[in-house]
Amino acid sequence: MDRYILSVLVNNHSGVLSRIAGLFSRRGYNIDSLSVGTTEDPEVSRMTIVVYGDHTVLEQITKQLAKLIDVLHIKELKRKDSVYRELLLIKVCATQQNRSEVVQITDIFKAKIIDVDAASVSMEITGDQDKLSAFIRLIEPFGIKEIVRTGMSAIGRGDETISDDMNRKEM
């Protein structure tokens, strides 16, 4: 199965997220990751949706999304043409004996320590899934107390925007 990252522009009002999630649920498709936020236009939100499947699944999802009134534009963001990032917040056991090792790993991955306690350290790190997974594997032996991940966010490379793409298709 392949991974597909969809950037979806939608009207920014209540119920849109619920309708999109319901569409996936009714069709039996799983959303692997979902990130939503307003864009430079407060009337429009951008969803970054990560799904797994074959090309047929991608086509079906795209066609079904396009039928929804609040969906303004859909674009697949391919790896070579886009930048993907995810935010990870992680709380790790850190005793007096191992704290310097935890800090060292944090520095190597360019993570940031955001909270320190007598028994733990909380960090934030951004990057692609591979970087975050590697960080988790190295920090895991110290004892992970808690993990929070934002889900994938993505943006196209270069000067072109998804709005430019949408405007061209409307012409």
39 Cβ partners below 8 Å, 6+ apart?
A: 9, 45, 46
Domain 83-153: give its CATH superfamily: ACT-like. Chain A, domain 2 (3.30.70.1150)
Cβ atoms of 76 and 61 closer than 8 Å: no
Residue range(s) in the chain whose domain bears CATH number 3.30.70.1150: 83-153
User: Residue 103 is encoded by which pair of tokens?
Assistant: 């800090």
Span 57-108, pLDDT tens digits:
999 999 999 999 999 999 999 989 999 999 999 999 999 899 999 999 999 9
Residue type, 35: S
**pTM confidence score:** 0.84
CATH: 3.30.70.260, 3.40.50.2300, 3.20.20.140, 3.30.420.40. Which one for 2-76?
3.30.70.260
Span 115-138, pLDDT tens digits:
999 999 999 999 998 999 999 999
Residue 169 has what pLDDT? 67
